[in-house]
Amino acid sequence: MGDPAGIGPEVIIKALADREIRSLARYCIYGLNEILTYEADGQEIDPFWYRVQHDSARTHRAITENVVVLDFDEYDGMIHVLRQPSKSGGLASKAFVEEAIADAMLPADPAHHPRKLDAIVTGPISKQSWHMAGFNWPGHTELLTHRTRTKRSVMAFVSPRLRVALATNHEPLNKLRDLITIGRVFDPIDLGHQACLDLGIEAPRLAVCGFNPHAGEGGQFGDEEKRLIEPAIEVARNNGINVTGPYPADTVFIDAASGKYDLIVALYHDQGLIPVKLLGWDKAVNWTLGLPIIRTSPDHGTAFDIAGKNKASEGSMVASIQLATQLATRRLAAAAPPEAAPAEESEPAA
């Protein structure tokens, strides 16, 4: 659900109210049933889910309903919280995602682990709320990386016109120069290439942004391109990846939007997110690459200013669900044992 005081509950209700979206998968909503009911009533939508207390024994038996709310009703007071960051919002949203991660990490054994998830779609959190609650994680990406013991993870974004992978995530600009390394540039190239393959792109074409204006202009505006980015590209090429660059960031996205590249590696958050949101607002999806589990998320925040007013668009949540189910379906199909070839018929006896 994300932060209960944000637009997460609203966009979840709007997305899953669509029967076509509901038909893509079976859903567990980790959150507050009271708030979901309140949001559905405000949208004049009849409840379409089954409620189970999240820590009850019932959740460890098979549930056949298509949409189940795992209700954390110990946080029900959130419905009266002002639409702003709060300690209670941080405590609740952290509890939701921690339990979802634990369920996603269960072994794939329906008989013994009926709560096993094939993918997670996270609603928007308030990082300020998490900080107020005593949690110092920069965001979902870092928490998921730690909980899944992942050595390499990359924040990526998928939209109808652009795919972007980031070399750094939520970092202050004044620290970026010390954070960019050959490895930090190579990882989004490598994981971005695999992401394209996972999407069904058979021969991915990647491009890497420069760090400095004009990609350094031959060293006049900085040496990061020669010293760090070009070596990372060379390593990737030696590993069979079709990647070029570094290119000036103010022009390479034009080429990508026109179809020349399948994915762009951006060096820092706003370098990659501005074009993604400009060209794909309401359709872009945040996808964490490198994890052993599938995790997607809408590309927007909690939007406290419009929460509770029935003004939020569910477009990015719908796109996040669609990508998660697409990836889960491909992964399950790849893991399935091959079907035995039909036995050849013997020649009829003479």
What's the CATH code of the domain at 248?
3.40.718.10
Apex CA 65: angle with CA 63 and CA 68, to 5°?
Answer: 85
Closest of 318, 291, 321, 316 to residue 303, by C-alpha: 316
Please give the pLDDT value at position 221. 78
> How far, in Å, CA of 279 to CA of 173, rounded?
24
Could you tell me if 155 and 142 lie in one domain?
no
- 180 Cβ neighbours under 8 A, 6+ residues apart: 167, 168, 211, 224, 228, 229, 267
Could you tell me if 94 and 171 lie in one domain?
no
Residue written as token pair 């870092």: 142
Instruction: Name the domain boundary from 248, 275, 290.
Output: 290
Q: How far is residue 134 CA from its own chain's centroid?
A: 24
DSSP H stretches of helix in the chain: 8-16, 19-22, 33-42, 87-104, 127-132, 140-147, 176-179, 182-198, 224, 230-238, 249-257, 269-280, 315-335
> How far, in Å, CA of 121 to CA of 331, rounded?
16
For strand 67-71 and strand 50-53, is the pairing parallel, antiparallel, or unpaired?
parallel
Could you tell me if 139 and 95 lie in one domain?
yes
Please give the pLDDT value at position 60. 84
Residue at 341 is within a domain: no
Please give the pLDDT value at position 328. 95
Residue at 109 is within a domain: yes
Number of compact structural domains in the chain? 2
Closest of 33, 208, 30 to residue 125, by C-alpha: 30
Could you tell me if 160 and 214 lie in one domain?
yes
Could you tell me if 205 and 100 lie in one domain?
no
Could you tell me if 145 and 169 lie in one domain?
no
Could you tell me if 280 and 157 lie in one domain?
yes
Could you tell me if 52 and 169 lie in one domain?
no
Could you tell me if 38 and 174 lie in one domain?
no
Please give the pLDDT value at position 346. 43
Residue at 144 is within a domain: yes
Please give the pLDDT value at position 172. 87
> How far, in Å, CA of 247 to CA of 208, rounded?
6
Could you tell me if 146 and 1 lie in one domain?
yes
Q: Is the pTM of this model over 0.95?
A: no
Residue at 93 is within a domain: yes
In the beta sheet, which residues pair with residue 29? 69
| Local structure of 220: helix, strand or coil | coil
Residue at 312 is within a domain: no
Q: The tokens of 311 are what?
A: 């003004």
Please give the pLDDT value at position 216. 61
Instruction: Name the domain boundary from 85, 119, 150.
Output: 150
- 174 Cβ neighbours under 8 A, 6+ residues apart: none
The upper half-sphere exposure of residue 47, i.e. CA atoms within 13 Å in the direction of its Cβ, equals: 13
Residue at 25 is within a domain: yes
Could you tell me if 281 and 208 lie in one domain?
yes
Residue at 261 is within a domain: yes
Residue at 329 is within a domain: no
Instruction: Name the domain boundary from 150, 185, 206.
Output: 150
Q: What is the pLDDT along the chain (350 residues), one digit of tens a residue?
A: 999 999 999 999 999 999 999 999 999 999 999 999 999 999 999 999 999 999 998 888 887 889 999 999 999 877 777 789 999 999 999 999 999 999 999 998 877 788 999 999 999 999 999 999 999 998 899 999 999 999 999 999 999 999 999 999 888 888 988 999 999 999 999 999 999 999 999 999 999 999 988 876 777 777 888 999 999 999 999 999 999 999 999 999 999 999 999 999 999 999 999 999 999 888 999 999 999 999 999 999 999 999 988 999 999 999 999 999 999 999 888 887 776 445 554 443 43
* Range of the structural domain that residue 9 is part of: 1-150
A 10 A CB-CB count for 309 gives 12
- Strands of the sheet with 67-71, listed across from one edge: 27-31, 67-71, 50-53
- Strands of the sheet with 295-298, listed across from one edge: 120-121, 295-298, 285-289, 154-158, 163-166, 263-266, 206-209, 243-247
Could you tell me if 159 and 283 lie in one domain?
yes
